[in-house]
Structure 1
Amino acid sequence: MSLPALGPVPDVRADWDTLADSAADLRTGSGKAWDALQDAKGSWAGLRTGYRHDGTSERVWAGLDLLERPAEDWAGALSSAQDAIDDFVTTGEPLQRRRETLEDARPRLAADCSSALASGDESEIARVRGDIIAFNDRIADLARAWGSAQDTFVAAVRSISGGTTEGLAVVGAPRVETGALDWAAMTSGLDTTFGALDPRTLWRDLRGLSGEELRDWLEANPEAARALAENAFPRHPVPGSAEDVMARAMAGDAPLTRDGITGIREAWLGLQEHERERLMLLFPGVIGTLDGVPLATRGAANQVTVAGLREQTAERLAEHRAHRPPHAPGNAYERSQWEDEEARLETVLDGLTQAWDAYGRPPFPEDQRTPGYTTLFVSAEGLGQIVTMRGEPSAATERAVTFVPGTTSTIASVDRHNDALDAMDGHDPGGTVSIYWQGTDLPQELIRDNATPHFNEQGAPSLAAFDHAADLEMSSTRVRDVATTYVAHSAGGSLLGTAEREGLDSTNIVYVAPAGTGHELSSPDDTQNPSAHRYLIQTNDDPISAAQLLGGGAHGGSFWEGSDPVRQMGAVRLESGFMGNGETVMGGHSDYFDPRSTSARNIEGVVYGTEVRPYLQPEIHTIIGSPYPYIEYPLEADADHYREEGIPSVPVEETR
């Protein structure tokens, strides 16, 4: 016995998103020719009363009258083309879904056919024969519907007429060469000329541009950059579209979990290259901040985001200043609130300007200039948040270093802290990826803001999520693990420790005068990173020691035990030593990242696994007749000796 053959499923497919975008472009463009003509006539009408010239004014009006009918016809032609495409998309998308359903059913039906023939059961064979006939009928119906849809579309397009130059006078004068066209500035001010900017049209201007060309375009079109940066991801994307794929991957708390971030990365890499480019340019404020998207892609997308937020913040600041409350009795509180908001907007604008300028600087300068960097995350909320990167993960990457700053850091600290990162990352463009992470609000008031674990708990999940994404990308570029080092200063130290509790892991942890080990952390076993090599750098007179002693409830395991990275976390203390000039003994809380200082070189030694200078232990002397011992610090007591002989160093391996 035999069964009918399964027919081939017709190849019903098209890039419906692109077609829909094209229809939207036509919808926008259909009125542009007519509107531009009316603008020209309106402008000339304004001049007509004050300017009269027999040789030109009547010619202008005659020329504008000649253009009126073709302009109207052209607008009508574009509108007809838009209707034809919209109708084709409306008809074709359901047909493609029918094709996908048939393709999914075909393997199962083929298996049923083989099983029925092998069984020899006539009733089973008859059932399968009926299924095959019904399947082939559905194929035939789909083929007819698809053919009809294409024929209807072709006929609709061919029927479009009008908008040609027929009947217009031919211009015989030679074209005058005016030099190179400033293409980047051509669209500047389009929101004034043509109304609200449509991101679905704008992103097309950016396809295929180099980083420098993109920067030129964004510089010339800040209002367009803002429209793109503010463009929100669709709430109900077309099923099966690239937006739908990413929306499903991003759903819920996926951007904060290891499995979710893995799913986001797989979904992104599963898209076609042109789809990734479209989403990156159309939704830069979403894609540029999404953990799981490759870091280099985020850096490229956020050049648009930074430019757009900069324009947004500048406009908001100007509007805010236009409503300055007057000095008046009883108006002090309102005036104070206004001044606080002005200062906040100024801070955010300063940071965004720094981030924008960084895209135009070399990431590894040969002199002492602040290095350039790309932005991996940016927000204008509060005092601003930002994450930056120098270098890119690749097969050549051997190590990564991430710096987490402390109290008083805002988005406007980004250049200063990238200078600090530059002092400790070894200036290795090929082998080292250097990241600055301030992707959360940080304490601004030394006592009040650090009195609770609020900032630690708020930022730790985001820092852990970023670490998951970075680790995932680093591991995918090499056959061996990339050595990672986290360096955290002040309040950043307890934030980092809290993130370790949430899942952050790293080869090395360097505490630089930390506020504590992390909220609810009393030992490495309280983290998900117990095997990390840990180090502490802190001057002998750093006032942070008081916070470590008294702030354990917010920054450590408990109030009663305080917070001590050496005692609790097993950290090896390294010497803070001398400032970069080699003469001044380092003191206080803020100079640890002075270029070529002992502390900066110690951090670099940990990052590269070379050598470090252990802490010079103090000598405790008992004074006869006094209940208090005398503590002598070798570096302060004999600074000249260590300036001449150097502070003893050991291989990093000996500290582990």
Structure 2
Amino acid sequence: MTAAPTVGQVERWRPEALFAAADGWAALAARWRALADTLHRLDRDSWHGEAAERGWAQAQHLEAAASDWAARMGAAAVQARRGGRVLGAAHAEFLGLLAAVRADGNLIGDDGTVTPDRSGELTSRVYHGLRQVLAADHDVAGAIERALTLAAAPAARPVATTPAAAEVVAGWPTMSQDRIGEQISAMSTEQRRRLVAGAPLQVGNTDGVPWDLRVAANRINIAEAIAAQQDILARPENDKIGAALAGGFGLGAGIGGWGTPGARDRVRAAAYLDPGWRAAAIAAHDRDAHRRIEFYRGLLADVTDPTGRSARVRPRQILAFDPARSSLIELHGDLRTAGSLGVLVPGMNTTVLDSAANVRTARRFVAAGRGEVAMITYLGGPFPTGPDPVTGLVEAADPSYAVAMAPRLVAFSEDVDRTVDATGRHVPVTYLGHSYGGSILGTAERLGLTADRTVYVEAAGAGVGVFDESDWNNRNPDVQRYSMTAPGDPIAWVQGLPGGPHGADPDEMSGVWRLGTGRRLDGSVMSGPAAHSDVVNEPSDAWHNLLAVITGTPVRR
């Protein structure tokens, strides 16, 4: 039996090495996944005969093995990254304890014994600290070991008896969500694992797939997205410089200016030859990849329990992740115990990489519910964006974003409805459309959204093509509708314009309950341009009214 690490050995630990291991394993997972995909795409009609049969059987076996390794390494990368944080925190706390004990002139032996220590209290504290950090090490090692072994498949098992994941998901685009759910419910645990490992992109982003599988698949998708960005960072330097130049690096930066003869050639030469320009071009090329890696790693990070009921950290619950489609959907809180669920559809200038503010908004509602509220942040596609007020106004007037995203929100609402019903409890679902998100929500209601309550918060309108209450076609005939617009919010200038792109003013619609915005925490009136976002962020009267609608409790006037 291996002896337990000593104090000195633990002091020399470097938990940050787990992050490097995680990056390497994630990259390996992506490469194994690419190999499995390549093997699956082989043209089986190009080779026939006895040798072909043996060859295709071997290819199928290798494809299954590659999928297994992709699942193993992806899961191990997730656990190593989590382990780096958990063990790093425990290690730092232990080093702090040692430093505090030594600061008083005490000596600490390798076994944890402190001298002098007449009462034995200091020794007890060091022993306890050592046990804590060793327990963290044991938990991390166990999690990584389980990730590497539980995802593995016996090499000798037959692989032809189970349809390949690609074959399973190929039919999903033409199948109902109920049929997809039935198909998966008939699978064994091993078949589901293979499905997640073999087609994570489809599993993680298809309505009708059970949410636990979507979360598992998206952890693979996120790990592979990190690996893809790391591949970008690994490109040869001259390739990076060429890409930066093609993207406009150096435009207007000088060396004669772009407008003079030969200026472009001089800038190009400087970017390749001058050390300063060369470094700047490489940094410009790498900037977006670094930002994406940091953000994606955050999606894999554990977070404190948003319900506030415990000090434990929990993995994030990503229900959709597809940066190519600007899609990111996340569940916050515990749907197993929540008595109500809110779905937040944000407004313009929302992107995947700039979605942290929406997460904070959702988590505030969850925290206020103390376990009674769960929230979903919904980014179902690209939102209008504008780097300046003029461009922003033009983009916000474009209804095409709402028209494109609304059908996806309708489909997702069906999935939410099914998942909530599966809890066996009555959990009312409230959809909040903020700003441009109000137009998306209203358009989705026109197309058949399913909701118990809808709230149009500082909304651009009641929805594209919605000019009367009868234009809404919510599948719940008893849906309750609310609206909120703070006085002085500039959004009021465009709400309900005759022939406007986003439909009628929801504040004036029949059957819509108008929510007051009241006062801020400092007692001042919630009004003006800042109120546009503050109503969902500051714990004011307006914010409490939104929480009251979500929980079905009385609102403030």
TM-score norm. by structure 1 comes to 0.54
Asked if residue 601 in structure 1 is aligned to residue 544 in structure 2, the reply is yes
Q: Out of 184, 209, 222, which is 1:268 matched to?
A: 184
Q: Is the 8 A contact 1:453 1:519 kept in 2?
A: yes
Q: Out of 203, 214, 223, which is 1:298 matched to?
A: 214
Q: Structure 1 residues 555, 397: CA separation in 2 closer, same or farther (over 3 Å shift)?
A: same
Q: Is the 8 A contact 1:406 1:492 kept in 2?
A: yes
Asked if residue 402 in structure 1 is aligned to residue 332 in structure 2, the reply is no
Secondary structure of the structure 2 residue equivalent to 1:511: strand
Q: Counterpart in 2 of 1:519?
A: 464
**2-structure distance, mates of 1:321, 1:438:** 31
One-letter amino acid of the structure 2 residue matched with residue 398 of structure 1: G
Q: Counterpart in 1 of 2:396?
A: 450
Asked if residue 243 in structure 1 is aligned to residue 243 in structure 2, the reply is no
Secondary structure of the structure 1 residue equivalent to 2:381: coil
Give matches, 1:370-389, under 5 Å: 373-381=316-324, 384-389=326-331
Q: Out of 296, 300, 303, which is 1:352 matched to?
A: 296
1:357-393 deviation line (CA, Å, top 9, x unaligned): 3x344333479999973211112227x4311112344
Shift of 1:306: 1.6
Q: Structure 1 residues 175, 520: CA separation in 2 closer, same or farther (over 3 Å shift)?
A: closer
One-letter amino acid of the structure 2 residue matched with residue 541 of structure 1: G
Q: Is the 8 A contact 1:423 1:593 kept in 2?
A: no
Q: Is the 8 A contact 2:29 2:74 kept in 1?
A: no
Q: Is the 8 A contact 2:22 2:78 kept in 1?
A: no
Q: Out of 65, 72, 82, which is 1:205 matched to?
A: 72
**2-structure distance, mates of 1:352, 1:242:** 28
Q: Structure 1 residues 304, 364: CA separation in 2 closer, same or farther (over 3 Å shift)?
A: farther
Q: Counterpart in 1 of 2:105?
A: none
Q: Out of 225, 236, 240, which is 1:309 matched to?
A: 225
Q: Is the 8 A contact 1:364 1:371 kept in 2?
A: no
1:12-40 deviation line (CA, Å, top 9, x unaligned): xxxxxxxxxxxxxxxxxxxxxxxxxxxxx
**2-structure distance, mates of 1:416, 1:381:** 21
Q: Counterpart in 2 of 1:423?
A: 364
Shift of 1:293: 1.2
Shift of 1:484: 0.6
Shift of 1:606: 0.6
Q: Is the 8 A contact 2:21 2:77 kept in 1?
A: no
Give me the identity figure in percent: 25
Q: Structure 1 residues 351, 441: CA separation in 2 closer, same or farther (over 3 Å shift)?
A: farther
Q: Structure 1 residues 341, 239: CA separation in 2 closer, same or farther (over 3 Å shift)?
A: farther
1:551-593 deviation line (CA, Å, top 9, x unaligned): 854211xxxxxx2113225321111122344456443222112
Q: Structure 1 residues 457, 592: CA separation in 2 closer, same or farther (over 3 Å shift)?
A: same
Q: Counterpart in 1 of 2:381?
A: 440
One-letter amino acid of the structure 2 residue matched with residue 611 of structure 1: P
Secondary structure of the structure 1 residue equivalent to 2:208: coil
Q: Out of 283, 292, 316, which is 2:199 matched to?
A: 283
Q: Counterpart in 2 of 1:540?
A: 487
**2-structure distance, mates of 1:419, 1:497:** 24
**2-structure distance, mates of 1:186, 1:346:** 18
**2-structure distance, mates of 1:191, 1:392:** 28
Q: Structure 1 residues 367, 404: CA separation in 2 closer, same or farther (over 3 Å shift)?
A: farther
One-letter amino acid of the structure 2 residue matched with residue 387 of structure 1: I
**2-structure distance, mates of 1:306, 1:284:** 10
Asked if residue 471 in structure 1 is aligned to residue 407 in structure 2, the reply is no
Q: Is the 8 A contact 2:205 2:322 kept in 1?
A: no
One-letter amino acid of the structure 2 residue matched with residue 424 of structure 1: F
Q: Structure 1 residues 213, 516: CA separation in 2 closer, same or farther (over 3 Å shift)?
A: same
RCO greater where, 1 or 2, for CA within 8 Å and sep 6 or more? 2
Q: Counterpart in 1 of 2:553?
A: 610
**1-structure distance, mates of 2:295, 2:26:** 26
| Residue range with higher mean Cα deviation, 500-509 or 183-192 | 183-192
Asked if residue 491 in structure 1 is aligned to residue 436 in structure 2, the reply is yes
| Residue range with higher mean Cα deviation, 519-528 or 347-356 | 347-356
One-letter amino acid of the structure 1 residue matched with residue 222 of structure 2: V
Q: Is the 8 A contact 2:26 2:226 kept in 1?
A: no
**1-structure distance, mates of 2:67, 2:422:** 33
Q: Structure 1 residues 201, 299: CA separation in 2 closer, same or farther (over 3 Å shift)?
A: closer
**1-structure distance, mates of 2:229, 2:470:** 44
Report how many residues are paired: 408
Q: Structure 1 residues 450, 341: CA separation in 2 closer, same or farther (over 3 Å shift)?
A: farther
**1-structure distance, mates of 2:469, 2:300:** 39
1:193-250 deviation line (CA, Å, top 9, x unaligned): 9995354242452699897568449999xxxx9xxxxxxxxxxx97861636733540
Secondary structure of the structure 2 residue equivalent to 1:448: helix
Q: Structure 1 residues 344, 217: CA separation in 2 closer, same or farther (over 3 Å shift)?
A: closer
**1-structure distance, mates of 2:406, 2:30:** 43
One-letter amino acid of the structure 2 residue matched with residue 442 of structure 1: F
TM-score norm. by structure 2 comes to 0.63
Q: Structure 1 residues 215, 371: CA separation in 2 closer, same or farther (over 3 Å shift)?
A: closer
One-letter amino acid of the structure 1 residue matched with residue 412 of structure 2: F
Shift of 1:427: 3.8
**1-structure distance, mates of 2:311, 2:525:** 21
Q: Is the 8 A contact 1:579 1:585 kept in 2?
A: yes
Shift of 1:400: 1.0
**1-structure distance, mates of 2:494, 2:311:** 34
Q: Structure 1 residues 298, 585: CA separation in 2 closer, same or farther (over 3 Å shift)?
A: same
**2-structure distance, mates of 1:499, 1:305:** 28
1:24-70 deviation line (CA, Å, top 9, x unaligned): xxxxxxxxxxxxxxxxxxxxxxxxxxxxxxxxxxxxxxxxxxxxxxx
| Residue range with higher mean Cα deviation, 407-416 or 544-553 | 544-553
Q: Structure 1 residues 613, 429: CA separation in 2 closer, same or farther (over 3 Å shift)?
A: closer
Secondary structure of the structure 1 residue equivalent to 2:534: coil
**2-structure distance, mates of 1:549, 1:511:** 13
One-letter amino acid of the structure 2 residue matched with residue 451 of structure 1: A
Q: Out of 405, 414, 437, which is 2:355 matched to?
A: 414
One-letter amino acid of the structure 2 residue matched with residue 380 of structure 1: P
**2-structure distance, mates of 1:370, 1:191:** 22
Secondary structure of the structure 2 residue equivalent to 1:548: coil
Shift of 1:187: 8.8
Q: Counterpart in 2 of 1:555?
A: 502
One-letter amino acid of the structure 2 residue matched with residue 470 of structure 1: V
Give matches, 1:71-86, under 5 Å: none
Secondary structure of the structure 2 residue equivalent to 1:402: strand
Q: Is the 8 A contact 1:490 1:512 kept in 2?
A: yes
Q: Counterpart in 1 of 2:258?
A: 329
Q: Counterpart in 1 of 2:512?
A: 571
Shift of 1:495: 0.5
Q: Structure 1 residues 569, 465: CA separation in 2 closer, same or farther (over 3 Å shift)?
A: farther
1:275-306 deviation line (CA, Å, top 9, x unaligned): 11222233322211121112232123222222
Q: Structure 1 residues 362, 398: CA separation in 2 closer, same or farther (over 3 Å shift)?
A: closer
Shift of 1:613: 1.7
**2-structure distance, mates of 1:426, 1:552:** 41
Q: Is the 8 A contact 1:215 1:303 kept in 2?
A: no
Q: Structure 1 residues 473, 206: CA separation in 2 closer, same or farther (over 3 Å shift)?
A: farther
**1-structure distance, mates of 2:81, 2:234:** 26
Aligned CA RMSD, in angstroms, stands at: 4.4
